[in-house]
Structure 1
């Protein structure tokens, strides 16, 4: 697989357009929990390059919702988003941002009521 081979489901070239707009680099600016200060505030992961840890292999960027809350959308809704609502994510930043968004959503949710049949 070459550095710019699109995923199988990219018939309309959406992934390629998102990757081109990102210049082949992860667009995370710290929503993953890392500051990325050493790299000008943006993740240094480049599509086809190698990860920072030994043995991570080549980086394969994803086209996913740019908004962290959008990462929690069901797959069929995320797939229907326009190019402008998508960003290039490395797997590490994507997963960390999705976990942070899920945690924030759980913290903002109202507390669950009592499940008991009878209040004593």
Structure 2
């Protein structure tokens, strides 16, 4: 059984992931955007404003592999630093949705709700 590290350890892990990412979202298009204007990488920096009228960006340390974004929270929290990346909320959510759609499309027989269609 894997235990979730204490909060202090998680904060240190988050800081290590942000340092490795230079405080910038590490998405390279898995969210569906090409990020062409920024050399192929999301321009969002932790604490900066992406556009006028929005709050500052708060980057997340989450699995680097899009499929791993679908892990249950207790398993994602147990991943080592080398398997994590910095994500802005917009890229994280879009990549997670895309991974869920891909996983659902791979299930034979289509969506589970199709069993109950009349």
Question: Which TM class, normalised by the smaller chain length?
Answer: 0.7 to 0.9
Larger radius of gyration: 1
**Alignment partner of 1:87 is 2:82:** no
Kindly provide the CA deviation profile for residues 8-52 of structure 1, in whole angstroms up to 9, marking residues without a partner as x.
Answer: x74120000000000000000000000001100000000000023
- TM-score computed with the length of structure 1 as normaliser: 0.83
Summarize the Cα distance change of 1:115–1:23 in structure 2 as closer, same or farther, 3 Å threshold: closer
Q: How many residues align?
A: 107
Q: Structure 2 stretches of 5 or more lacking a match? A: 1-5
Write 1 or 2 for the structure with the bigger share of helix. 2
CA 1:10/1:55 → structure 2, altered by over 3 Å: closer, same or farther?
farther
Structure 1 residue runs of 4 or more that deviate by more than 3 Å after TM superposition: 112-116
- Mark the runs of 5 or more structure 1 residues left unpaired by the alignment: 1-8
Which of residues 60, 63, 82 is equivalent to 2:61?
Answer: 63
How far apart, in 2, do the equivalents of 1:78 and 1:115 lie? Answer: 31
| TM-score (structure 2 length as normaliser) | 0.85
Q: What is the Cα-based RMSD across aligned positions, in Å? A: 1.8
